[in-house]
Amino acid sequence: MKIVGAVQAGGLSTRMGGGPKALLDLGGRRIIDRVVDTLAAVLPDLLVVTNTPELYADLGLPLVPDAYPGAGSLGGIYSGLRAAVGDAVFTVACDMPFLDPAVVRLVVGRAGEADVVIPRIGDQVETLHAVYGKRCLAPMEHRIAAGRLKITGFFADVTVVEIAEAEIRRLADPEVVFMNVNTPEELARARSLTGGR
């Protein structure tokens, strides 16, 4: 089964003041470089979903625009999945600096079991740290066309396997692994974690 890593580098970064979160410095490296390096350690093929390709050209990866601009994260996941040459994508947000290769392998390793393979932490599923198979495309597109952009909205139309929090915790701290850098406060926390490593 061929799985492509898809980095979601869309969004307006409004809570961060409008600049691209992915390009923020964290411990001397851009956040997106951290994300890409971690994914590249697990998956040989990567792409970046972005409507600002000039910002990410230096990564040397295929850059994919949104198929449906304005369709939010669901549109980004759809765009990466549609563009990927393979059976599925492991989709991840560009602002998750502490991705863990072992956790990525855990999720990717179960890709053959369902159309969606997704970690659940407490009452939340990690929609931007999950595998989506090609069978998700039609249900996603239907939801996008209807303007119903909640990512989990199409889950009833496909098969879904959830990875339990306990499985994640055996490998890494979910509070760190799934941390997003959306606000100045979260950036400060991330920098403090980096300094402690």
Beta strands (DSSP E) in the chain are 3-8, 25-26, 29-30, 46-49, 63-64, 88-93, 116-121, 124-125, 129-133, 160-163
Question: Which residues are CB-neighbours of 22 under 8 A, at least 6 positions away?
Answer: 9, 30, 31, 32, 35, 55, 56, 94, 95
| The pLDDT of residue 93 is above 90 | yes
The residues facing 160 across adjacent strands are 116
Q: Which two tokens stand for residue 68?
A: 């449906």
Q: What is the largest CA-CA distance in the chain?
A: 46
Q: Which CATH class is domain 3-195?
A: alpha beta
pTM recorded for the entire structure: 0.91
User: Do the Cβ atoms of 27 and 68 come closer than 8 Å?
Assistant: no
List pLDDT tens digits, range 108-165. 999 999 999 999 999 999 999 999 999 999 999 999 999 999 999 999 999 999 999 9
* Residue type at position 68: Y
Runs of H (alpha helix) within 41-136: 72-83, 101-108
Of 4-18, 38-52, 128-142, least confident by mean pLDDT is 4-18
Dist CA 88 CA 110 (whole Å): 12
